[in-house]
Structure 1
Amino acid sequence: MSRAPAITLKQLSCLIAVEETLHFRRAAERCGMSQPALSAQIQNLELALGAQVLERSRAGVTLTPIGREVFARAREVVDGAQAIIDLSVASRGGLMGTIKLGTSATLGPYLLPQVVSTLHKKYKGLSLYVWESSPLDLEYDLGRGAHDVILAQLPTVSRDFVVDTLFREPLYLALAVDHPLAQKDHIAVADLEGLDVLSLSPQYHLHRQVSDLCQTFGARMLRDYEGTSLDALRQMVGMGMGAAFLPALYVRSEITDRGGGEIIVRRIKGRSIFRAVGLVWRRSAGRSEQYRMIAGIIRRVARAHFADLQVETDPD
C-alpha cells in the first residue's frame, strides 16, 4: 500500500498566502517564489489531502469548503512552528534569522534606509523583510501573523500588542509659495482659523490627527480632495488647493531647506504638533527581546541622523 505524500509547512504557507491575497501573483510574491512554483505547492497539498482546496476561475480564486477548513488549521500550525523558531533564535541571543517588518508609506521610506544600513553592518545573520501597506492594514496583518513587527504611528487599537515608543515627530504646516501666509516666518494659531487644509485618506492615522487639529484651530478640512500619498499631498499644496500638515521626516527628505520649489513649510508659533511613532509586536511573540533591540537601534539612529525628532529615552 503506497504511503500518502506528506503535508509540508511550505504548502500550508502557500495556501495561507493565496487565501489572504486571493491572487496567485501576489501570493507568490509574498512567499518569495514564482507563480508556477506556488501552483506546484498547492497541487502537492491537494494531492496529499486527496481533495481540492482552491477553485480557480476568471473571476479569481476562492477556497473550497474543505480548503476553508484546512486554512483555519493551517494558520495554527504555521504560527506554532514560527513560535518554536522564535524561541530557538531568542535562546541564542543577538539578532539573527528572518524578521518581517511592516511599515506605512508615510514613515518607512524616510526612516528605514539608515536603520537597515545599521542593522546590516552589525548583524550579518539577520534578514529583514520590509512590507509597506496602509496603517489599518498593518495592524490587521500584524494580528494575523503576516508581520512580526510593525513601525507605526501611535496609538494602536489592540490590547494584544506590545508598543515600544520610539520618538515624536513634528508636523510642519506646508503652504504654496504664493499663499498669503507664506511670507510669515512663523504661523500663529489665529492664522489657522478658516484655513483650507488637505489631508491623506482616512486609512492613514494622519487623517484623524489632521481632522482633530482642524477642529482645534478652526481650520477647514477639505474632504473632497484627500491625497493618496505625501507626494500627492505636496503637489496639491503646490497647486494652491490648500495647506497641509507634513511629517518632519518627509520634509527633511523631500523639501530642501524647508522649501520645495512650489511650497514652503512653517512651524506653528507657540504650539508643538507631533505624531508619536513606535515599534509594535504581538504580546505572544517569542522574540520580544530581539524586537526591543531593534527599537533601541532605531532610537540611536534617530538621535544620530534626525535632529528634528524628539527621541524617547531607552528603557533600563
Structure 2
Amino acid sequence: MAAAGNFRRAAERAGVSQPSLSAQIQLLEAQLGQSLVERGAGATMLTPMGREILRHAHAILADVSALSDLARSDGDAMIGTIRLGASPTLGPYLLPQVVARLHRDHPELRLHIREGLPHDLLRDLASGLHDVVLTQLPVIGDQYFVMSLFREPLLLVMAQDDPLAGQRCVQPEMLAGRGLLTLSPHYRLSDQIQALGKAVGAPVLRDYEGTSLDAVRQMAGMGMGIALLPALYVRSEIRDHDDVTIRPMASQIIEREVGLVWRRSAGRAAVYQRLADMVISVAGS
C-alpha cells in the first residue's frame, strides 16, 4: 500500500483481489484500534501510525529472514552469536584483540563475553548460559570437550627496592621465608601458588588476598610481599617505569595451562576450534 499508492495497485502486487485486501486492512485496523490508511478521492496514504506499524513490520520480517538464513546455513559457519565465559585473570588481556580480529575477519559472528570465577563459569556452561569458556586448566567432566591452548609462564613481581630485585633470575630457594601474594582460593592460580609456596617454604599471605591481578600487583609494589603474575597480564599492564620489578624464576619454570571448554553435546565444534586458533594466535603475538 505504501509503495503502490492505492488499493488497486497494492492488490495487484500482493496477488489478491482489491476487496480482499481492503477487508484485511480493515481487520488489522480493528485489531489494533488504530486507523492505518488515509482514504480519499486522491492517492491513498498511510497515517502516521500506519508508517510506524510498517517500520516495525519491516524489522520483524528482516529478523525472520535472518533466522531462516541461519537455520539453513552450515552449522560450522562463522556466523551468529557465541556466548563466551572468561576468567577475569585471562579475558581482559586476550579477548579485546580476539574480538577485533573476529570483527575484521568474520563480521557476521558476534562474541558476547561475561567474566566469572572458574566454578561459576563451569556451572553456567553446564546450564547453557555460556556456549564456551576460556579458563585455566585442568577442567574435569566427561560432558566437556577441553582444548588446551597454551602454557603461560608466571613471573615474579616485587617492589623495586626488594632484595631480590637485584637478581637477574630468582632461584626457588631464595623465596624461602618470603610471603607470597595471590588471589582468593576461588582461582586455580591461587592453588598453584599455594603449592609452590609449600614446596619452597614461602607462606601465602592469606591476610592480603587480592580481588584482582591489579590489586595483587599494587600490594607487591608496596612491599607487602612477592607476587607471581601471568605473563599476559605483565605484558599488558606493567611498564618499565612502574613501581614493580619483574623477574623470572631460574631453573624452574612456573606455568599455567589455559584452555577452551565447551559441552560435547552442543555442536559447532569446528567454530569453537577456529576461535581457539584465534586465541592462540593473539596469545603468541
Identify which of 98, 116, 123 aligns with 1:140. Answer: 123
* Aligned-pair identity (%): 51
- 1:188 maps to which residue? 171
Q: Is the 8 A contact 1:90 1:287 kept in 2?
A: no
Which letter maps to 2:174?
Answer: D
- 1:168 maps to which residue? 151
Compared with structure 1, are the counterparts of its residues 158 and 127 closer, same or farther at alpha carbon in structure 2 (3 Å cutoff)?
same
Which letter maps to 2:193?
Answer: V
Are 2:101 and 1:115 equivalent residues in the alignment?
Answer: no
Deviation at 1:135, TM superposition (A): 1.5
- Distance in 2, Cα, partners of 1:241 & 1:300: 36
- 1:221 maps to which residue? 204
Identify which of 227, 235, 252 aligns with 1:271. Answer: 252
Post-superposition Cα deviations, 1:251-274, rounded to whole Å, max 9, x if no partner, equal 0011114xx522111101111111
Q: With structure 1 as the length reference, what TM-score do the two structures score? A: 0.66
Which letter maps to 2:124?
Answer: D
Are 2:232 and 1:249 equivalent residues in the alignment?
Answer: yes
Identify which of 302, 305, 310 aligns with 2:283. Answer: 302
Q: Is the 8 A contact 1:89 1:96 kept in 2?
A: no
Deviation at 1:157, TM superposition (A): 2.8
SS of the residue aligned with 2:274?
helix
Identify which of 218, 226, 236 aligns with 1:235. Answer: 218
Deviation at 1:216, TM superposition (A): 1.6
Compared with structure 1, are the counterparts of its residues 270 and 89 closer, same or farther at alpha carbon in structure 2 (3 Å cutoff)?
farther
Gaps of 5+ in 2: 1-67
Q: Is the 8 A contact 2:84 2:130 kept in 1?
A: yes
- Distance in 2, Cα, partners of 1:90 & 1:216: 54
Deviation at 1:92, TM superposition (A): 4.6
Q: Is the 8 A contact 2:157 2:245 kept in 1?
A: yes
Are 2:252 and 1:290 equivalent residues in the alignment?
Answer: no
Deviation at 1:223, TM superposition (A): 1.2
- Distance in 1, Cα, partners of 2:72 & 2:280: 23
Post-superposition Cα deviations, 1:147-194, rounded to whole Å, max 9, x if no partner, equal 000010001132211111110111001111111111111111110111
Deviation at 1:136, TM superposition (A): 1.5
Deviation at 1:217, TM superposition (A): 1.6
Are 2:145 and 1:149 equivalent residues in the alignment?
Answer: no
Post-superposition Cα deviations, 1:202-241, rounded to whole Å, max 9, x if no partner, equal 1111111111111122211111110000011011111111
Larger radius of gyration: 2
- 2:187 maps to which residue? 204
- Distance in 1, Cα, partners of 2:170 & 2:268: 45
Which letter maps to 1:91?
Answer: D
- Distance in 1, Cα, partners of 2:138 & 2:93: 20
- Distance in 1, Cα, partners of 2:143 & 2:117: 20
Q: Is the 8 A contact 2:75 2:268 kept in 1?
A: no
Q: Is the 8 A contact 1:168 1:276 kept in 2?
A: yes
- Distance in 2, Cα, partners of 1:208 & 1:230: 15
- 1:43 maps to which residue? none
- Distance in 2, Cα, partners of 1:96 & 1:267: 42
- Distance in 1, Cα, partners of 2:194 & 2:177: 13
Aligned residues: 218
Q: Is the 8 A contact 2:137 2:257 kept in 1?
A: yes
SS of the residue aligned with 2:112?
strand
Compared with structure 1, are the counterparts of its residues 90 and 234 closer, same or farther at alpha carbon in structure 2 (3 Å cutoff)?
farther
- Distance in 2, Cα, partners of 1:247 & 1:164: 20
